[in-house]
Amino acid sequence: MSFIRTVARTPRTAVVAVVTALALGLLMLPGGHGGVRLAAEDGSDTPVSAPMRIVQANIKSRMSDAKTKADIAGVYAQNPDFVTFNEATGRKDAMLAPAGYQLWRTPGAYTGETAVAWKTSRWNVVDQGTFLISNKLRKPPSRKYELGLRYANWVSLQSNIGERISVIATHFSPRVGEFKDLTIPSFKRLAVLVDQLRAFGPVVVGGDLNVNYKAPAEYPRSTVTALGLTPVYDVTGVALPTGMYRGATIDYILLASAGQFTVRGQSVRTGYSDHRQLTADLALTGTSASAFTPGTVLTDPRTSPRAVTSLMIRSINLAPKGAVVHLVSRQLAVKGVVDAIKAARKRGVQVQVLTSGKKISGGERALIKLLGTNTRKKSWVAHQRNWTKYGLPAASSLVSASGGTRALRIDSSRPITQETHKVPTRAVITIDKTSYDRLFVAFFKAVGRKV
């Protein structure tokens, strides 16, 4: 996928298109698994992502290369998922993003002053851009740059198992002289960008905002709250000193919306810069932590003939080791689904298949050879002709853990055969435990086992 580097772009259309494709199973991002899923802290069925770490680092300009490299090494020693850099002008991309990380910013003295880096083993870029934050043009005496000209660089990312997030790096103008009045307008401009990126999912912002969180006369709390931005300090109840001068709290990690995140911890690290590095450990919650969203997927034989079977394949491909797949289909005759089952079993997923066709397909025979037919074991293939008695759908993928969802159910209006690609077919996605358990009970009754 190629991306056009634009300034002050509007991302909503591109992001919505990608999210729609992902929901339909039409866009497959490269792969593997991004970590073990965590249970929600309140014991609910809400998906919670694997932990992720963000570091906000203002690397003071005009430091020696040795000191700059030491501070950057300190950033990556923390093994972050994301890094937001400030004062990056003049620093080469290769210095800011070592092997295993990718960097985004629009080149330029002003557009390239902030940058976002992310871990490529887990996160895949979906979209990216640069956005104007303030534009008060007047170069103060003895200053090399326009203090009031500020940009934010941003990326929208998708993890290998479906977690979605946008990350913004920004750096507000300092509150000096005639630039003191830029704080609230800068927050409002930042909120415009955040609102555009919400179409993709949760948003996290890292940056030196040049306003002391602990000084009520400086920090515009009511404005920030009204804009839907929440500093991590609000969540933890602790404002860490990030400025080396008088310990002011001027570096921030902002959440939008805070209800889509769990904050697991925060810390600061001292280096050569006049700012301490600010680190937050987060996790996504809700549908943004999951590769699957409740709803309906429809095939169109002309434009998306494999939407439903691709969705079934994704549900199996994203099941991690230790998960259980219960697959129901009156007939199973799509090679891609059979291959996904074989691959799942190879990586340690238990698979139980129930069919009812008059004839056993070649794919079913291959799975019988692989899984056996003993329903007392952990993996097997069973046959039940009296389908309607148990209220089973024409086809269903029931997965105990897949893409961040702990109770995934996908029901298809047609069996998993080539006919699904030729005529309109509907699949319904649910991720609640009640719906999952209902089919789970029917599934085992059909094979003569008590639950």
237 vs 245: CA distance, rounded Å: 22
Lowest mean pLDDT among 7-11, 128-132, 152-156, 380-384: 7-11
Average pLDDT over residues 322-328: 95
**For residue 290, what are the CA distances in angstroms to 260, 315, 318?**
12, 11, 11
Q: How far apart are CA 48 and CA 41, in angstroms?
A: 9
Confidence of residue 45 (pLDDT cuts 50, 70, 90): low
- 117 near 96, Cβ under 8 Å? yes
| Per-residue model confidence as pLDDT tens digits over 191-215 | 999 999 998 889 999 999 999 999 9
Phi, psi of 363 (to 5 degrees): -65, -40
| Least confident window among 89-103, 169-183, 251-265, 333-347 | 169-183
- In the chain the domains, ranked by start, together with CATH numbers, are 12-288 (3.60.10.10), 292-446 (3.30.870.10)
pLDDT at 229: 97
Question: What DSSP letter does each residue of 294-311 carry, written as one string?
Answer: SEEEE-BTTTBTTHHHHH
Scanning 107-220, the segments in alpha helix (DSSP H) are 183-197
Cα 32–chain centre separation: 14
